[in-house]
A = this chain, B = another copy of it.
């Protein structure tokens, strides 16, 4: 049975905002001049509201079902609470790297947050061939700060255990388990791809080493509680704003409704995966300079993550036993994990249910090779990660594969 509560509409939104006087300085509910629904269509309602002074606010409401499908796929709106709580916790560690939250309405599952419409979704920017310099560094800093703060190192044991209990998110974790770690490796109903990529999808299914590693990664995803992850940190969950020189002056991670306590490598790997997917698009389109820019992003993110984590390390709550040498081992392990999770995320975006616009908006003759490149690069990454975790060298190998298998109309 679905929960019932009032949904936001263009008609009731002004009155709703007026009923929250605590945000009167953020937006004038009496002079709304612009109102649009921008939800990406998958899960939630998202409204951007502007007043006549040009000030704005975003209202995000969880529906009791998957929006894309409707009430036939019920889903707890409690994910809004999880996103709200995670964003509040993450903002303590990295205020400048998440949207500001104004309030949370637990009765109607509405989060009121900062209007970032002067920012761009990073995926959109990457698809357009734009370069925002420093965004990957900012996201590396974000990951380091929020994961350190919510690890046993930053939070201490008791807060960590209590955080785990509060943040369990079985419903959304199940989506990740199925769509990322399971279905792409079987002939599942929700999988899809171009007929020309059937051979590539079958190669994935027949790759025995990949299958074993995916099993290990899935098990780690389900049984490791290292930190409170974002949980779905792709380039579509990042907003960027740059100055005229292309320097990123504001970078924000949002949409953390898949948040849960999981392995630290997972968020890093999610970013890597989306960089490699963007690389496949740039390669398909013959954008060499853009591909050069993208190829540097994984290492830029990792370096920023590592640097910031190292900076925070001396502030860990309990230094006893958790030695500097342990940090070195953990960093090594997290990098291996990240590459593995990246591979899982790459495969799911090509073969599994949820695609990316990077690849899907390519013409089919280019898409075939781009999809093939992403899959083969993922297979390479999984094999290489145990012997070579040098990100620049690994990225070059992956880029080479992506170039080799690219297709075009000429073919």
Interface residues of A (CB under 8 A from B): 152, 157-158, 160-162, 164-166, 168-170, 173-174, 177, 181-182, 185-186, 211-212, 214-216, 218-219, 222-226, 318, 320-323, 325-326, 329-330
B157 engages A161 (CB within 8 Å) = no
B170 engages A325 (CB within 8 Å) = no
A320 CA to B186 CA in the complex, in Å? 8
Q: Which chain B positions have C-beta within 8 A of A329?
A: 212, 216
Q: Which chain B positions have C-beta within 8 A of A169?
A: 161
Residue of B whose beta carbon sits closest to that of A318: B182
Q: Which chain B positions have C-beta within 8 A of A330?
A: 219
16 contacts between A and B (CB under 8 A): A152-B223, A157-B173, A160-B222, A161-B168, A162-B168, A164-B225, A214-B321, A215-B322, A215-B323, A216-B326, A216-B329, A218-B321, A218-B322, A219-B322, A219-B326, A223-B224
Min C-beta distance of A119 to chain B, whole Å: 34
Residue of B whose beta carbon sits closest to that of A160: B222
Min C-beta distance of A362 to chain B, whole Å: 29
Contact of A211 among B218, B222, B321 (CB under 8 A): B321
Specify the main secondary structure of chain A where it touches its partner: helix
Q: Which chain B positions have C-beta within 8 A of A152?
A: 219, 222-223
B173 engages A326 (CB within 8 Å) = no
A229 CA to B266 CA in the complex, in Å? 26
Q: Which chain B positions have C-beta within 8 A of A170?
A: 157-158, 161-162
A157 CA to B185 CA in the complex, in Å? 19
A329 CA to B173 CA in the complex, in Å? 24
Query: Contacts A157-B170, A225-B225; is A212 near B181 (CB within 8 Å)?
Result: no
Contact of A212 among B177, B212, B225, B325 (CB under 8 A): B325
A323 CA to B223 CA in the complex, in Å? 17
Min C-beta distance of A345 to chain B, whole Å: 15
B222 engages A157 (CB within 8 Å) = yes
Contact of A164 among B160, B168, B186 (CB under 8 A): B168
B321 engages A215 (CB within 8 Å) = yes
Residue of B whose beta carbon sits closest to that of A222: B152
Q: A164-B165, A164-B168 given; name 19 further pairs at CB < 8 Å.
A: A152-B222, A157-B222, A158-B170, A161-B168, A161-B170, A161-B173, A162-B170, A165-B165, A211-B323, A212-B325, A212-B326, A212-B329, A214-B321, A215-B323, A215-B325, A216-B326, A219-B322, A219-B326, A224-B224
